A and B are shown apart, each in its own frame.
Chain A
């Protein structure tokens, strides 16, 4: 007989099998994931996702008997009152349970539910893309000065007095300097008092009494000299100022919702916003999302309206920036908030407005923002034509002057997206670690 401890052996022997399983169910899960992206709020996406797939897709068929088919006999335990010849009405649906059919029936469940990890979910979302360690890349972050505890100091304001540490110091000092305790004094006084009860003292007793009285006087004096609490004992909490990354971020999603933006364009934009959100979520404790949509006027709306309601009108991009500036001034002071903006558009703009846009962006918006990105959504078939970044329509060309301007280059980036598989690489490029930071 041998006893072997296998606990240290590698776990996860089934990881490859789980991956094979995921790959196999991939197509079905992908549909579900896409559906889920469509239906759910940006903030809910990317949490662990529970998926149910019909066991049909992962069925392992075999030749076996149909349940309840034919004429069969089955033995059951625990007879209570049946006698031979009794008849039992079949349960609705004809399932008789147990018996021969039970033994070889492969699949009992119609649905197969399991939980996708966040990573698996994102993998499915951007199907043929590898999800890199992108979340670890950090941007230049806004810092704020914050006080932080840093040990103790000997002086300070009463408000910062640390009682525990002060008492501790005092105790140490009292022990070191042998400060007499109150009990010691009481003990001496008690002893002296016993002499007081006697009428006549022997010389020996008198000597003792005198010694005790002297001792008492010394002890009392000593108590005064060595105080209970001395100014040298006091300790105050020390604070140090340090630069802390700001933990609040606000993300502005700006989208053109005029007629030229169809479902496809909106879906692509949504994926881009989603990625940005997932990314920021890694860096900040709290993220607010502000949705601004615009036609020829801009308005802050809720997420649902943002993605699902259409509006008709022209396209005046600058209105969105004015709206954004207004919201920043009202609610998100840049000293407290990291501001990010992402704009998605098909590139149309009212021709007279483009110059205003560039001016607004350069003078008003970019100085306030950590980062701004512009994503132009183009037709899939245009992808090759639009590879060259130096050509484009008016808005693109105008933005380009900002993107190549070195004052703004670290804060501003622009890309084109033609189909869903473009989004990730584009996103990655936009959010590459900036050396400038």
Chain B
């Protein structure tokens, strides 16, 4: 335990009941380890004690303390409530929000030992990750989010008053359907400041109207025969002006949709709100393994440190370890409880493995690794093997990677063997699945690469872009879906989503699915007012 000596100090608490004084005392000790030993860098923390009912509330509004009203949150509320009351799921011990100050909701039912665990987990683990990871730095505005949500909530309810909840709901439903296609994946020109949003909206109207005058003004007439090249030039010019192709569909609709005439600009603002919320959560979708791994690693390290210093009773430590073990449980693929790879487990194990690689000491047994193992590490991780300074390696990883790149960079053969990972190849046409790779020399690289891919949102979310707006008369909005590895869209949801898209666009919308490899068109469908039409 590095710089600490074995002091025989009295435990911070002996009762399982918590009180505010003890919370504060324990928090100080946790902070001591977090800052002085691990060297974490965090936003100020705000611990909020809530009841289980409030926790259910928070669940339903995607963890945010305030949110605009929408029936879908009610639906999630009903569902979570059902599961909870049936005893199928427990509630989370905490919810943490990427804000500054970093808000951690802790349940009042937690014992003191759990509160300690939770404070370390959320108050320092998640908090450090939020503050330092490049995606969060780049995309989400921790200072502004709560103010923005307050604005959004107020805006939506004002709209509901002015235009009726039904109208607002229609727009929200449609925008929600496109939420995953409402984010910028690559760096934007300027980072948006959420706290400036309200001021921006003030100036919105005049700006907007100038922008979509392009579509509102007289439309270009079709040229004569033989003037195709002129026409094509025109299209190219227009595409450039509209910044096409564009994968952020909500952004495109917000800026250019001709459906919203004068007096309907509030719909653009609602789309923007949905888009901003999606963008705010986008980094979290990309860093599940890392974020949870970081928090789990940090709480485990801190709790062990406190225990070693005699600040936790054996009983409290036992309780903490039970919770910790539950959190990182990973059922095997053939276990009925199996529900994919547990991000807590994968993240925690990978980070512990980084400590092992850096120090050459097996973390489970606390003994030096075998020579064979050291050689393997040296071969796979020449940069960090045996460097000793695992704190820097971890902090660097937490700051500069997302799940996909983190796995690609740091998943070791040791861990692949430990988790006994294997790869299945599945072709919908075949009646068999094939074991493509197992945890052996021939398989490590492939398993690592393909596991990383599993966390690549670029592959998880279908690749759909706005490619053109046919301005020559029908204002048809053309989308293109690139099919990778023959993976098709779920057609029922696709049609429903297109229907919503058509509603937001106001005119017909077409979607063309094109195989990436061959460039062949699989199908083309058009969402018209009367319904969905499929053509080859």
Contact = CB atoms under 8 A, between A and B. Distances in A.
A7 B50 contact: yes
A15 B51 CA distance: 16
Given A17-B60, A84-B435, A84-B442, A77 B49 contact: no
Interface string A1-24: 111111101011110111111111
Nearest to A98: B340
A70 B108 contact: no
B389 interface: no
* Contact-residue bracket for chain A: 35 or more
Nearest to B464: A63
A69 B427 CA distance: 8
A156 B168 CA distance: 76
A100 B123 CA distance: 31
Contacts of A3: 20, 23-24, 27, 46-49
Interface stretch (A88-96, A300-308, A355-363): A88-96
A87 B434 contact: yes
A390 interface: no
Given A5-B20, A11-B51, A65 B488 contact: yes
A83 interface: yes
Interface stretch (A53-61, A143-151, A277-285, A336-344): A53-61
A275 B338 CA distance: 49
Q: How large is the interface on B (under 10, 10 to 19, 20 to 34, 35 or more residues)?
A: 35 or more
Contacts of A99: 340, 424, 426, 454
Interface stretch (A102-110, A184-192, A257-265, A319-327): A102-110
Nearest to B429: A71
Nearest to A75: B451
Q: Which of A6, A13, A61, A99 has the most CB of B within 10 A?
A: A61
A18 B80 CA distance: 12
Contact of B334 (A9, A71, A78, A102): A78
Contact of B435 (A71, A83, A97): A83
Nearest to A56: B492
Interface in A21-40: 21-24
B490 A64 contact: yes
B187 interface: no
B184 interface: no
Interface stretch (B1-9, B136-144, B173-181, B528-536): B173-181
- Pick the most buried of A59, A73, A75, A89: most chain B CB atoms within 10 A of its CB: A75
Interface string A143-174: 00000000000000000000000000000000
B contacts with A: majority SS: mixed
A62 B177 contact: yes
Given A7-B51, A64-B462, A77-B332, A82 B428 contact: no
B333 interface: yes
B493 A7 contact: no
A63 B462 CA distance: 7
B44 interface: yes
B77 A17 contact: yes
A72 interface: yes
B46 A1 contact: yes
Contact of B77 (A2, A18, A63): A18
B54 A11 contact: yes
Contact of A63 (B50, B54, B442, B494): B494
A106 B493 contact: yes
B442 A60 contact: no
B29 interface: no
B420 A88 contact: no
Interface in B413-462: 419-428, 430-440, 442-443, 447, 450-451, 453-454, 459-462
Interface in A413-433: none
A83 B442 CA distance: 11
A14 B73 contact: yes
Contacts of A90: 426, 430-433
A67 interface: yes
Contact of A88 (B331, B435, B438, B490): B435
A240 B131 CA distance: 75
Given A63-B181, A113-B82, A11 B496 contact: no
Contacts of B48: 3-6
A20 B493 CA distance: 22
Nearest to B331: A78
A15 to B, nearest CB: 9
Nearest to B407: A75
Contacts of A98: 333, 338-341
Contacts of B432: 87-90
Given A79-B439, A80-B334, A112-B79, A17 B69 contact: yes
Given A63-B494, A74-B424, A78-B333, A17 B73 contact: yes
A2 B101 contact: yes
A174 B533 CA distance: 101
B335 interface: yes
Interface string B54-74: 101100110000000111111
Given A17-B71, A77-B419, A88-B432, A61 B438 contact: no
A65 B433 contact: no
Interface in B455-513: 459-462, 464, 481, 483-494, 496-497, 500
Nearest to A13: B57
Contacts of A21: 71-72, 74-75, 77-78
14 contacts: A1-B123, A9-B50, A22-B74, A58-B71, A63-B462, A64-B180, A70-B486, A78-B331, A79-B420, A84-B437, A86-B434, A88-B424, A88-B433, A99-B426
9 closest cross-chain pairs (CB), A and B: A78-B332, A21-B74, A70-B487, A17-B74, A70-B486, A20-B71, A61-B496, A76-B333, A61-B493
Interface of B: 20, 23-24, 27, 31, 44-51, 53-54, 56-57, 60-61, 69-75, 77-79, 82, 101, 105, 108, 123, 165, 169, 173, 176-181, 330-335, 338-341, 419-428, 430-440, 442-443, 447, 450-451, 453-454, 459-462, 464, 481, 483-494, 496-497, 500
Interface of A: 1-7, 9, 11-14, 16-24, 58-80, 82-90, 94, 96-100, 102-104, 106, 112-114
Given A66-B491, A114-B82, 17 more contacts: A1-B46, A4-B47, A11-B57, A12-B57, A14-B77, A61-B177, A62-B178, A64-B461, A65-B487, A70-B485, A71-B426, A75-B423, A76-B424, A78-B420, A89-B433, A90-B433, A112-B75
